[in-house]
Structure 1
Amino acid sequence: MPSLFDPVQAGRLQLRNRIVMAPLTRNRAPNAVPTPLMAEYYAQRASAGLLITEATAISHQGQGYADVPGLYGTEQLDGWKRVTSAVHAKGGRIVTQLWHVGRVSHTSLQPEGQAPVAPSAITAKTKTYLIDDQGGRFAETSEPRALRLEELPGIVHDFRHAARHAVSTAHFDGVEIHGANGYLLDQFLKRGSNHRTDDYGGSIENRARLLLEVMRAICDEVGAGLVGIRLSPVTPANDVHDPDPQPLFEYVVRQLAPLGLAYIHIIEGATGGARELPDRPFDYDALKRAYRDAGGRGAWMVNNGYDKASAEKAVANGADLVAFGKLYIANPDLVERLRTDAPLNAPDKMTFYGGGAKGYTDYPALGQTK
């Protein structure tokens, strides 16, 4: 029976344990440029089998929150190169999560103050994070405009371009595509946010078209064995919903199966909340079977509120990887703490978004005092 601490292969990624640091937005990249402080933060956590970076915008249009990093400029790539170098020096493996927020943005964050883009011109009932003269604050998202059909190849190109430079220039070990949590690709998938009547709306096949075009383009660019994807079938995050998610996501994973991905990363339930939603039932075992039955051999990663006991149970029941989010904020040496059943540091929620070293790189490892 595999252990949480045993090595595992995920595509072309050889991982020293099955513990993953989930992507965590921390808003500490002014002008979308990764900083030396970020290099220290990720290097502190390099004992994870795999680090997944905070969501990273593929273009200026893809930005949705203040001070989140990008992957579309030279200075940004140079900043990420310092991060990957620091992680690799500690023997770690790190992939970047490629992100386009779609409608979850604000005009002040968009090129020339333009409206955010979306599958359909439907405002998300959610908030984004701004930093201005008033300091850091949450604000309502701006009304989006619907993407024109002729613009969609450009979105695919931006994903492909970001993936290529993530691997070849910034020296990431791979990439994860953000297809979850109510951002652009998830907005296209789900009927609550996609009211299109062209080839990218209506049927399941049409709504999944953009996500699958992006995935095929990235796999062609960097090799499928270095590519993962994050999906969230039923989360209500960022005002996203679909009335019938089971056939939708089973179709998606069946189409992904032949690509030979490194892994599938599934958020179970509400992101950062309940794992089971009475009004949104979902069979995750059936989802995994659909993927395996279609020939999918990538590692299966589970996520949402896991602790050591539930993670061990998940691995015993067939999960290959378990992603931990908030526990990694306050516990840079989480692998060793889980291995030895050591006490866990409690996170300072006031420092989650924005700021400097406080609540970011100053959490003590075992044997240290704060």
Structure 2
Amino acid sequence: MRLQFAIKRKLVARMYSGYGSRAKRSPSLDYFLPKPVHFPGGRLLGQCRHKEQTTGDPKLLEPYKIKSTVFQNRIGVSPMCTYSAAPDGETIGHATKFHEINYGSFALRGPGLIILETAAVCPEGRTSPEDLGIWLDSQAESLRPIVDFAHAQGVKIGIQIGHGGRKASGLPLSLHLSKAANKDSDQGWDTVGPSAISFDEELFPTPREMTLEEIQAVVRLFKDAARRSLDISGFDFVEIHAAHGFLLNNFLSELSNKRTDRYGGSFLNRTRLLLEIIDEVKDDEHPLFVRVSATDRSQLPEAWKLEHTQELALLLEDHGVDVIDVSDGGNFNRPYHLPHVPANQAPLAKGVRDTLRNRGTKHSMLVATVGSISSGLIAEEKLDDGSADVILSGREFLINPGAAIRFAQDLGYSISSGWPYEWTYEPPPLTGSNM
């Protein structure tokens, strides 16, 4: 025990050599927090003792760059709604201390990126009454402390912006897995969509078909939401939510889009709204992510299928998207189920990535995969076999906010983490040459 403590003490002394006799303050915060010498997740400390020694650093722990933004490793926190914002009043849709604590716990422990849960671009676009919003400047300002804390740890953080479409006005998952909020008793509201087709006639109302003017207004709502996110909140990037049966996904799939105007019918017409939003949101400085559902998980002939996502991916790349975040399902109420195996959505991401790679030198867009990735070994395998460039995990970070550090340890490595959390993780071996 004494030897272990001595080794840790020498390790910390080595890490903090040259730091001086006083801790330095993190400059992005309005309160004192010691500035990390090495940002969490941003430095390989070496290989762990009692682990199989590997040759070469794992891909999972490699940094990468998109535009001018450097991500310190390829592990990311997937966006997960917490349904914890005020449903009405002056603070409707505003972030609270809970959100600061929730996302701060991730930022302290070394992920390469965090994607904040969906923030609605308008009140009617919330997926539940308790969703975050980004339609007001004050909502964007309420998110700033979360961003500042992540930046104090050297972590890149983005936000997912979206509109619920025909699945808006739902109950939070704590109350029901898939059911609309009643207008009279649950603070619900009328919904809209590309066509007047309910997601589930027993559990959801029939949405009103949107007019052309309303569709154009949605483009402006996304543009304004992105500007607030980047300019007021200070996020490093934005992710457009076009998955899981929400509005932009509704337009993509013929299951939910029966329009006969320029936003319905052909594949190009059904992708038009998403591409118009992308063209308004993108800029030359900030990375742009788009989350898609690879399929509707339906065998119906009009369902959205992997080949449609592969074709869409080529369009997204042409329109300047930097990362396609490949998820699945959510737009069909009787879906077939994916096999219960590790990384069960990775084959879908690989199908998209292979399509992009076949473009040769024209390719630039990265692919992220998500779903049942519970260890660093699984994550590294999916990078090695070409399934993805970025690994996103949700449940693992809910179980353990230090999942990024555990993933590194699964691969036999220790990575830096926020002080004082490094005391809890096994240091790399110290030899006479580095003690």
Please classify the TM superposition score into its range, dividing by the shorter chain length.
0.7 to 0.9
Q: Is 1:262 aligned to 2:331, yes or no?
A: no
Residue 141 of structure 1, CA deviation? 2.7
Q: Is 1:297 aligned to 2:357, yes or no?
A: no
Please show how residues 114-133 of structure 1 align to structure 2 within 5 Å: 114-125=189-200
Residue 254 of structure 1, CA deviation? 1.1
Residue 327 of structure 1, CA deviation? 0.8
Residue 365 of structure 1, CA deviation? 10
The code of the aligned residue for 2:228 comes to H
> Does the Cα contact within 8 Å between 2:292 and 2:328 map onto a contact in 1?
no
Task: Tell me the residue number matched to 2:313.
Answer: 253
Task: Tell me the residue number matched to 2:284.
Answer: 223
Q: Is 1:40 aligned to 2:101, yes or no?
A: yes
Task: Tell me the residue number matched to 1:137.
Answer: none
Please show how residues 95-134 of structure 1 align to structure 2 within 5 Å: 95-106=158-169, 114-125=189-200
> Does the Cα contact within 8 Å between 1:275 and 1:304 map onto a contact in 2?
no
The code of the aligned residue for 2:71 comes to L
Q: 1:19 aligns with which of 75, 82, 85?
A: 75
Distance 1:241 1:218, change over 3 A: farther
Aligned mates of 2:188, 2:291 — CA distance in 1: 29
Residue 332 of structure 1, CA deviation? 1.0
Aligned mates of 1:16, 1:109 — CA distance in 2: 45
- Pick the structure with greater CA Rg: 2
Distance 1:126 1:183, change over 3 A: farther
Task: Tell me the residue number matched to 2:129.
Answer: 66
Residue 81 of structure 1, CA deviation? 0.7
Aligned mates of 1:273, 1:4 — CA distance in 2: 31
Residue 74 of structure 1, CA deviation? 2.7
Aligned mates of 1:185, 1:253 — CA distance in 2: 15
Deviation by residue 1:46-101 (Cα, 9 ceiling, x = unmatched): 12101001111011121121211011113211111111111111211100001101
Q: Is 1:159 aligned to 2:225, yes or no?
A: no
Q: Is 1:312 aligned to 2:380, yes or no?
A: yes
Distance 1:196 1:48, change over 3 A: same
- TM-score normalised by length of structure 2: 0.68
Aligned mates of 1:253, 1:126 — CA distance in 2: 32
Structure 1 alignment gaps of length 5 or more: 128-139, 343-363
Aligned mates of 1:326, 1:97 — CA distance in 2: 17
Distance 1:7 1:273, change over 3 A: farther
Aligned mates of 2:127, 2:73 — CA distance in 1: 33
> Does the Cα contact within 8 Å between 2:322 and 2:365 map onto a contact in 1?
yes
Aligned mates of 1:60, 1:122 — CA distance in 2: 21
Range moving further from structure 2, 26-35 or 290-299: 290-299
Aligned mates of 1:340, 1:201 — CA distance in 2: 49
Residue 151 of structure 1, CA deviation? 1.5
Task: Tell me the residue number matched to 1:322.
Answer: 391
Residue 124 of structure 1, CA deviation? 1.1
Task: Tell me the residue number matched to 2:13.
Answer: none
> Does the Cα contact within 8 Å between 1:81 and 1:170 map onto a contact in 2?
yes
Q: 2:250 aligns with which of 187, 190, 215?
A: 187
Aligned mates of 1:60, 1:241 — CA distance in 2: 34
State the identity %: 27
> Does the Cα contact within 8 Å between 2:126 and 2:168 map onto a contact in 1?
yes
Structure 2 alignment gaps of length 5 or more: 1-55, 87-91, 170-180, 412-420, 426-435
Q: 1:91 aligns with which of 154, 160, 179?
A: 154
The code of the aligned residue for 1:7 comes to P
Range moving further from structure 2, 159-168 or 297-306: 297-306
DSSP-derived class of the 2:158 partner? strand
Distance 1:224 1:143, change over 3 A: farther
The code of the aligned residue for 1:121 comes to A
DSSP-derived class of the 2:167 partner? coil
Residue 152 of structure 1, CA deviation? 1.1
Residue 292 of structure 1, CA deviation? 3.6
Distance 1:35 1:283, change over 3 A: closer
Aligned mates of 1:103, 1:245 — CA distance in 2: 20
Task: Tell me the residue number matched to 2:47.
Answer: none
Aligned mates of 1:286, 1:327 — CA distance in 2: 25
Residue 227 of structure 1, CA deviation? 0.7
Please show how residues 169-180 of structure 1 align to structure 2 within 5 Å: 169-180=232-243
Distance 1:233 1:266, change over 3 A: same
Range moving further from structure 2, 289-298 or 35-44: 289-298
Aligned mates of 1:24, 1:236 — CA distance in 2: 21
- TM-score normalised by length of structure 1: 0.80
Distance 1:215 1:315, change over 3 A: same
The code of the aligned residue for 2:213 comes to E
> Does the Cα contact within 8 Å between 1:10 and 1:263 map onto a contact in 2?
no
